[in-house]
Amino acid sequence: MSELTLQNAVVVGADGVLDGLNDVVIVDGIVAQIGSNLAVQGDAIDCAGAWVGPGFVDVHTHLREPGEEWKEDIETGSRAAAAGGYTAVVAMPNTDPATDAGHLARYVADRGAQVGLVDVIPSGCITAGRAGEKLAHLDELSAAGVTLFTDDGDSVADAGLLRRAMEYLAERDGVVAQHCIDAGLAAGGEMHEGEISSRLGMSGVPREAEETVIARDLSLVRLTGVRYHVQHVSTAGAVDLIRDAKAEGLRVTAEATPHHLYFDHTSVRDMNPTYKMMPPLREPADLEALRDGLRTGVIDIVATDHAPHADHEKDHPWEDSPFGVTGLEWAAAVVNMVVGLEPEGFFKVLSCNPAALAGLADQGRLEEGSTANLVVFDPEGIADTNGTVSRSSNSPYLGLEMRGAVRMTIYRGRVTSRDRSVADPVGAAG
Amino acid sequence: MRSVMSGSDMDRALRRIAHEIVEKNRGTADVVIVGIRTRGGPLADRLVGVLEEIEPGPVTSGILDIGMYRDDLDQRPRTVLGPTELPTNLDEKTVVLVDDVLYTGRTIRAALDALADLGRAAVVQLAVMVDRGHRELPIRADYVGKNLPTSRSEHVTVRVAEIDGEDGVWIDNPAPGDEGSAT
Amino acid sequence: MKHLLTMEGVDRATLDSLLDDADEFYEVMHRPIPKVPALRGKTVATMFFEPSTRTKLSFERAAKALSADTLSFSPGTSSLKKGESLKDTVLTVKAMGADLMVVRHKSTGAAWRVAEWADLPVVNGGDGAHQHPTQALLDALTLRQHFGSLDGLRIAIVGDIRHSRVARSDVWAFTTLGAEVTLVAPPTLLPPDLSGWPVTASTDFDDVLTEVDAVYVLRVQAERGGASVFPSVAEYRQRFGMTDARFARLKPDTIVMHPGPMIRGIEIDGGVADDPRCKVLEQVTNGVAVRMAVLFQLLGGSRDE
């Protein structure tokens, strides 16, 4: 029998923030009791007024396994997730081979379960091999438990093909998650099109590359009734489109990444490829629209787009470096610092809404009887940004002074991370 | 700082050097007076003025910048280059190099290299206002305003009115361990 | 000055000092023995990750005229094709004893990254469409030689500004030295956002033609035509070519410049290219002189004051 008691915490339960400081007693992986001054069972942890809520859920993680294990694998990615306060991650399907068939999705889920530090939920491709030419094995993927479908890294450019995918997945209540970048408008694009790109002579990715895809897709959502999720929203105009779609009643959700909330395109001035990602870092007005979108619920989720790349891949000049930055370890600190949500809203965008999108019943919820997937987050603590738990160190947050520290992550009742010291995997490496 | 030559001392020295040049070269017909930047320039101009007083006919002159020829660029702050202006042909001429202080000889070595790249003079002679000793190369002056025994730690300063607003030569002993330099 | 990476933000005193030194090296180049010992024992590595003939030759000529040795690196014969990272390549060349690196690369900021890794003086020999500072210096020297000063000069830069590192460097050098610059191009070849650029922009070449003291013609990059940035080469020439007819309409003392290589019949007509008022060959000569000045300032007397 394993027991653990968290004491003196601001507890964010299923019905909101509990009055005063409370304790949470965990017994055998289940939240047994929530209340003030409870009898201690097992070890007692004094949370000293930190927030305790449902563990974070990332609906946008690149774990790189299979195929690119020098960047990250399911074990190192799970460790980084645990360090960042996550208890579940949705693995993106742009692996090698791409996750476009049932057995590939099962492999990811099985490896995740073997590691046992977070729930690893596979997503599946919309098109075979992410090639944008024909449908992936959508039935097989569904049978393997996949509910979120995306060709992330590319938009599904062919509207006819996308329509058929939407029709097919609407019937199965799947989610079409789109990486919204028009390949023509973004051709050769390396960064946000604007003052800085003009000064640096780099081809830009205009905001319209994102917005035209969203606008087109919304027409198809209207036609097909599918659940549609906009990945990594980066522009103010995109926020407007999503707000209108929600007002119209379309089944639309959206995510924003920590880096699009924290950095703008002036970070590119030094041409350091750590700041190279797609969509690119935009302008201050866009950042403000994204933050406001999260505050008002237009944007539902903060998702990391955790995209590890090895040092040797970033030891090149800008254009020769790959797109992507890591995000799992300091996403919560970013939300805490720049979005400024009260505890309830904080856990909504990091835990509850993403759990709902991914269809995870035992995530995103803290109440008596729920699975003990929890995080202890100190909003006043200083984050440790010296070094990464991830295998890769392409993080723009390294060395920054950040406010908001993940003190403890508890996955199914087990402490998986304490002040970034991560527990061993449960099973043998497979 | 101790004064070792006044302005009038410098005048007298220049006049003596001018007479020595005329005597040694039997006139000024084939003589080209070449000042080494920076303070060799005005000294050369004055020398030309005196020579033209005491000998008939104009005296040819020029100025040499040795910035590109130094062998101690690494040890110096950024070298500011100045123009080099010489008569087009030095062949068969007697070139008299003019500088303010003769010390290690490295500046003169650089000037000789520069001169060699610019033509083939028949004879090269050297005139300096002060010879303070401590040579590091086998170089000597043909005409000397004043021989000034110094220690290496001492600092010799030659000032010329055209650049510094006054004439004169001073010597001082900087803080121990601070290596003195020529100019 | 530790590196020469960009013209943006370089102050007038620095530009003047480089151009003044370049004047002296220009004189050296015209001596019977056009060589000085200033950088004897130093090694200049020319690392051109992008094909280039003239810039590389010019740097090597400059290094040799200063008595430096040269190490030459070209991607065709290198390990890059085997997937070596740029960082490893740079450290390898440094280990061979380079004292300074000249870096040309198709990617933006390559020279900055090299400077960060190598801990040596670095000269940007062109990065992407971003900067090509020695080109701007040689252009400025050419203008200064011809007009005495850039103060008050009116200069039109015509052509593919958007993809031109030459334009991005010239704009800053010319305006810092006192000139007024007008960029002339079709809208697809102007940068999308000119905020903060000290220039005016026009899409009408004929409108600015008669008012300028110098026309700087940029090369039309043939590969751009395929990317549909203008309808056809013929139509481009019609509106933006430095044709004989346009040349005839210039003020009589207006000069024409071009960074080379010129494509006659497209951006510049043969009659213009061969006219004494076209300063292309002077630019090439001045290229060696300014590169001597840059190498001299970075390697000779580089000790901090």
Q: What is the pLDDT of residues B50-70, one digit of tens each?
A: 999 999 999 999 999 999 998
Q: Kindly state whether residues C147 and C242 are assigned to the same domain.
A: yes
Q: Distance between CA A307 and CA A60 in Å, rounded?
A: 9
Are C108 and A204 an interchain contact pair (Cβ–Cβ within 8 Å)?
no
A319 at interface of C, judged by CB pairs closer than 8 A: yes
Q: What's the whole-number average pLDDT of chain A?
A: 97
User: Tens digits of per-residue pLDDT, A137-167?
Assistant: 999 999 999 999 999 999 999 999 999 999 9
Asked if the structure places residue B179 within a domain, the reply is no
pLDDT of residue A109 exceeding 80, the answer is yes
Residue C32 — pLDDT band, cuts 50, 70, 90?
Answer: confident
Read off φ and ψ for residue B168, nearest 5 degrees: 150, 165
Residue C223 — pLDDT band, cuts 50, 70, 90?
Answer: low
The residue segments making up the domain with residue C19 are 12-132+285-299
Residue A1 — pLDDT band, cuts 50, 70, 90?
Answer: low
Give B 35-94 residues with CB within 8 A of chain C: 65, 67-71, 73-84
Residue to substitute from C91, C112, C113, interface A, most A β-carbons within 10 A: C113
- Nearest-neighbour CA in chain C from A243: distance (Å): 29
Per the CB < 8 A criterion, the answer to whether A123 and A99 are in contact is: yes
For B73, counting Cβ atoms within 10 Å of its Cβ (0-12 exposed, 13-18 middle, 19+ buried), the class is buried
The residue written with tokens 């690149």 in the block is A62
Read off φ and ψ for residue A296, nearest 5 degrees: -95, 0
Q: Do chains B and C touch (3 or more CB pairs under 8 A)?
A: yes
CATH of the domain at C118: 3.40.50.1370
Q: Residues spanned by CATH 2.30.40.10 within chain A?
A: 3-52+369-422
Asked if the structure places residue C6 within a domain, the reply is no
Asked if the structure places residue C2 within a domain, the reply is no
Q: What would the DSSP string read from start to end of C192-203?
A: S--TT-SEEEES
DSSP A280: P
C106, C112, C193 member nearest A194 (Cβ): C193
Residue A166: per-residue pLDDT: 98
Q: Span A219-246, mean pLDDT?
A: 98
Q: Kindly state whether residues C149 and C205 are assigned to the same domain.
A: yes
Catalytic residues of A: 305
B118 at interface of C, judged by CB pairs closer than 8 A: yes
Q: Provide the sign of the torsion angle of the four alpha carbons C43, C44, C47, C52, taken in this order.
A: negative
pLDDT of residue B179 exceeding 90, the answer is no
C33 at interface of B, judged by CB pairs closer than 8 A: yes
**Cα nearest neighbour of B88 on chain C:** C31
What Å distances lie between residue C200 and A5, B138, C156, C197, CA to CA?
Answer: 69, 62, 10, 8
pLDDT of residue C226 exceeding 70, the answer is no
Q: Kindly state whether residues C97 and C213 are assigned to the same domain.
A: no
User: Tens digits of per-residue pLDDT, A262-279?
Assistant: 999 999 999 999 999 999
Q: Kindly state whether residues C45 and C122 are assigned to the same domain.
A: yes
Quick one: angle between helices C54-65 and C133-147, nearest 10? 70
CATH of the domain at B104: 3.40.50.2020
Q: Distance between CA A312 and CA A259 in Å, rounded?
A: 22
Q: Span A244-273, mean pLDDT?
A: 98
DSSP A269: G
Residue A363's nearest CA partner among A81, A170, A6, A95 is A81
Per the CB < 8 A criterion, the answer to whether A416 and A83 are in contact is: no
Q: What would the DSSP string read from start to end of C156-219?
A: EEES--TT-HHHHHHHHHHHHTT-EEEEE--GGGS-S--TT-SEEEES-HHHHHTT-SEEEEPP
Neighbouring CB atoms inside 10 A of A250's CB total 16
Q: Distance between CA A99 and CA A41 in Å, rounded?
A: 43
Q: Provide the sign of the torsion angle of the four alpha carbons C245, C250, C251, C255, taken in this order.
A: negative
Per the CB < 8 A criterion, the answer to whether C286 and C138 are in contact is: yes
Residue B178: per-residue pLDDT: 47
Q: What's the whole-number average pLDDT of chain C?
A: 93
Asked if the structure places residue C115 within a domain, the reply is yes
C128, C192, C197 member nearest A319 (Cβ): C128
Which subunits sit against A, judged by 3+ Cβ pairs under 8 A?
C
- Nearest-neighbour CA in chain C from A336: distance (Å): 33
Q: Kindly state whether residues C153 and C278 are assigned to the same domain.
A: yes
Please report, as a single letter, which amino acid is at residue C299. Answer: L
Q: Lowest-pLDDT range, B28-32, B69-73, B143-147, C79-83?
A: C79-83
What total number of domains does chain B contain?
Answer: 1
DSSP A127: B
Residue A430: per-residue pLDDT: 40
Structure ipTM: 0.94
Residue C301: per-residue pLDDT: 63
Residue B181: per-residue pLDDT: 46
Length of chain C: 305
β-sheet bridge partners, residue A139: none
Residue C303: per-residue pLDDT: 40
Asked if the structure places residue C7 within a domain, the reply is no
**Long-range Cβ contacts of C221-230 (<8 Å, 24+ apart):** C221/C160, C221/C163, C222/C263, C224/C160, C224/C163, C224/C189, C229/C160, C229/C162, C229/C186, C229/C188, C229/C189, C230/C186, C230/C188, C230/C189
pLDDT of residue C153 exceeding 60, the answer is yes
The residue segments making up the domain with residue B68 are 2-72+80-172
Measured in whole angstroms, how far is the alpha carbon of residue A372 from the centre of its chain?
Answer: 20
Which subunits sit against C, judged by 3+ Cβ pairs under 8 A?
A, B
Q: Do chains B and A touch (3 or more CB pairs under 8 A)?
A: no
Per the CB < 8 A criterion, the answer to whether C271 and C247 are in contact is: yes
Q: Kindly state whether residues C199 and C151 are assigned to the same domain.
A: yes
Please report, as a single letter, which amino acid is at residue A362. Answer: D
A195, A201, A312 member nearest C130 (Cβ): A201
Are C191 and A198 an interchain contact pair (Cβ–Cβ within 8 Å)?
yes
Q: What would the DSSP string read from start to end of A198-220?
A: HHHTPPEE-HHHHHHHHHHHHHH
SS3 content of chain B, % helix, strand, coil (to 5): 30, 30, 40
Residue C233: per-residue pLDDT: 86
pTM for the complete prediction? 0.91
Q: Which residues of C75-106 are buried (b: 16+ CB within 10 A; e: fewer)?
A: beeeebeeeebbbebbeebbeeebbbbbbbbb
Q: Distance between CA A7 and CA C133 in Å, rounded?
A: 63
Q: Lowest-pLDDT range, B11-20, B121-130, C24-33, C133-142?
A: C24-33
β-sheet bridge partners, residue A252: A228
pLDDT of residue A250 exceeding 60, the answer is yes
User: Tens digits of per-residue pLDDT, A383-411?
Assistant: 999 999 999 999 999 999 999 999 999 99
C29 at interface of B, judged by CB pairs closer than 8 A: no
Per the CB < 8 A criterion, the answer to whether C220 and C159 are in contact is: yes
DSSP A62: -
User: Tens digits of per-residue pLDDT, B1-28?
Assistant: 899 999 999 999 999 999 999 999 999 9
- Nearest-neighbour CA in chain B from C86: distance (Å): 29
State which CATH number among 3.30.590.20, 1.10.645.10, 2.30.40.10, 1.10.10.10 fits the domain covering A3-52+369-422. 2.30.40.10
Q: What would the DSSP string read from start to end of B24-83?
A: HHTSSTTEEEEEETTTHHHHHHHHHHHHHHHSSS--EEEEE--GGG-S-GGGSSPPPP--
pLDDT of residue A26 exceeding 90, the answer is yes
Measured in whole angstroms, how far is the alpha carbon of residue A304 from the centre of its chain?
Answer: 4
Q: Kindly indicate whether the domain formed by A55-358 is annotated with CATH number 3.20.20.140.
A: yes
User: Tens digits of per-residue pLDDT, A333-372?
Assistant: 999 999 999 999 999 999 999 999 999 999 999 999 999 9
Residues of chain C neighbouring B63 (CB-CB closer than 8 A) = none
Are B81 and C304 an interchain contact pair (Cβ–Cβ within 8 Å)?
no
- Nearest-neighbour CA in chain B from C299: distance (Å): 8
A48 at interface of C, judged by CB pairs closer than 8 A: no
Are A316 and C107 an interchain contact pair (Cβ–Cβ within 8 Å)?
yes
Are C193 and A195 an interchain contact pair (Cβ–Cβ within 8 Å)?
yes
Asked if the structure places residue B160 within a domain, the reply is yes
What total number of domains does chain C contain?
Answer: 2
Q: Kindly state whether residues C100 and C241 are assigned to the same domain.
A: no
Order of all β-strands in the sheet with C122-127: C69-73, C43-48, C100-105, C122-127
B69, B82, B118 member nearest C31 (Cβ): B118
- Nearest-neighbour CA in chain A from C36: distance (Å): 36
What Å distances lie between residue C68 and A402, C43, C102, CA to CA?
Answer: 49, 6, 13
pLDDT of residue C195 exceeding 80, the answer is yes
Asked if the structure places residue B182 within a domain, the reply is no
Q: Distance between CA A366 and CA A13 in Å, rounded?
A: 5
H or E element in which residue A255 lies: strand A252-256
Length of chain B: 183
Residue A61 — pLDDT band, cuts 50, 70, 90?
Answer: very high
Return the number of CB contacts < 8 Å for A and C: 83
For A233, counting Cβ atoms within 10 Å of its Cβ (0-12 exposed, 13-18 middle, 19+ buried), the class is buried
Asked if the structure places residue B120 within a domain, the reply is yes
Residue A305 — pLDDT band, cuts 50, 70, 90?
Answer: very high
A269 at interface of C, judged by CB pairs closer than 8 A: no
What six digits make up the tokens of A298? 């237009």
Q: Distance between CA B157 and CA B153 in Å, rounded?
A: 13
Are C304 and B77 an interchain contact pair (Cβ–Cβ within 8 Å)?
yes
Q: Span C154-163, mean pLDDT?
A: 96
The angle subtended at Cα C128 by Cα C124 and Cα C129, nearest 5°, is 105
Per the CB < 8 A criterion, the answer to whether A86 and A330 are in contact is: no
Residues of chain C neighbouring A193 (CB-CB closer than 8 A) = 192-193
The residue written with tokens 């068939």 in the block is A101
Q: Kindly state whether residues C89 and C150 are assigned to the same domain.
A: no
Q: Which residues of B133-170 are buried (b: 16+ CB within 10 A; e: fewer)?
A: ebeeeebebbbbbeebebeeebbbbbbbeeeeeebbbe
**Cα nearest neighbour of C105 on chain A:** A317
Q: Kindly state whether residues C87 and C204 are assigned to the same domain.
A: no
Q: Distance between CA A148 and CA A58 in Å, rounded?
A: 12
pLDDT of residue C66 exceeding 90, the answer is yes
Residues of chain B neighbouring C38 (CB-CB closer than 8 A) = 67-70, 73
Neighbouring CB atoms inside 10 A of B92's CB total 11
